Structure 1
């Protein structure tokens, strides 16, 4: 029997303190992106849909940002995970590489992804392309943070 609905999830990519004022990689427009992400997050929470926070943690010993255990690596307060929301840690621009994201989505029968994140060319682009290649329906939320301050 064919299902009458499809399951959706929100992916919040790399919305971390290092991209904001006094962060290691402050971006112009980061607050606007966080504001848009917060709006979408509130909708998903209200509808009790799946929410996945993707947190980048640097693994290179000379990394300048997203260093494990630092304030800069923490998820930004406006979109911080609530109890029960999934956090997947990555150390590659593509959220599917060396993570359990794909398995999590498949195990939870997710077919539709809404994605909002900080860097189009670094994190959003490879994650969106891979998601589409894997057969997910993808909606990328409009955002404008693309340049370093």
Structure 2
């Protein structure tokens, strides 16, 4: 099986000290780093996605800030492409679909941030486009969310979104299960 790794928005603003830290971001980045290492060692393709929030109202990921940069643990290397996006869905206004089709991978493995926004939007769009997907759930993270006066903890937000994706849009597994397969 030929797989491609799609790393979504693993950017500094999502980590402690950033403008929008997520629950479990460091653990997710460590898992993504392990997964990325396996893909690189196997010579498998990797595509990075970077969100840049344009305009003066950028709450985070503002151009020219440290927070917009991809975390060094999973930074692009060796000519790995970076798709810059401006919307939660990484296909909207980018050449991501063309890149994925050109790679002709049997399965797209997704890791990144936020489970409840960009990962969710991109996985659903990729499924709608006919791609076969796996989500490395422990290499993703979500924020605490507030709805109707209640705070929903980030771990529960993450679990709810992974449960909604699993089986319908993607197979949702952890990094160890993915790296335990015959090839990344």
TM-score w.r.t. the length of structure 1 is: 0.91
Hey, what does 1:66 align to over in structure 2? Answer: 61
Hey, what does 2:12 align to over in structure 1? Answer: 17
Are 1:53 and 2:48 an aligned pair?
A: yes
1:116 deviates by 0.4
Q: Deviations over 1:14-53 (max 9, x none)?
A: 0000011110001120001101100110010001111001
Separation of aligned partners in 1, 2:28 and 2:50: 16
Are 1:122 and 2:117 an aligned pair?
A: yes
Q: Deviations over 1:70-120 (max 9, x none)?
A: 110000011011021111100100011100000111122233100001111
Which of 115, 124, 128 is the matching residue for 1:133? 128
Separation of aligned partners in 2, 1:126 and 1:60: 22
Gaps of 5+ in 1: 1-5
Gaps of 5+ in 2: 145-153, 155-184
Provide the secondary structure at the position in 1 that maps to 2:106.
Answer: strand
Q: What is the number of residues matched between the two proteins?
A: 144
Hey, what does 1:90 align to over in structure 2? Answer: 85
Larger fraction in helix: 2
Separation of aligned partners in 2, 1:75 and 1:117: 11
TM-score w.r.t. the length of structure 2 is: 0.74
Structure 1 outlier segments of 4+, above 3 Å: none
Which of 19, 36, 52 is the matching residue for 2:31? 36
- For the aligned residues, what is the CA RMSD? 1.4
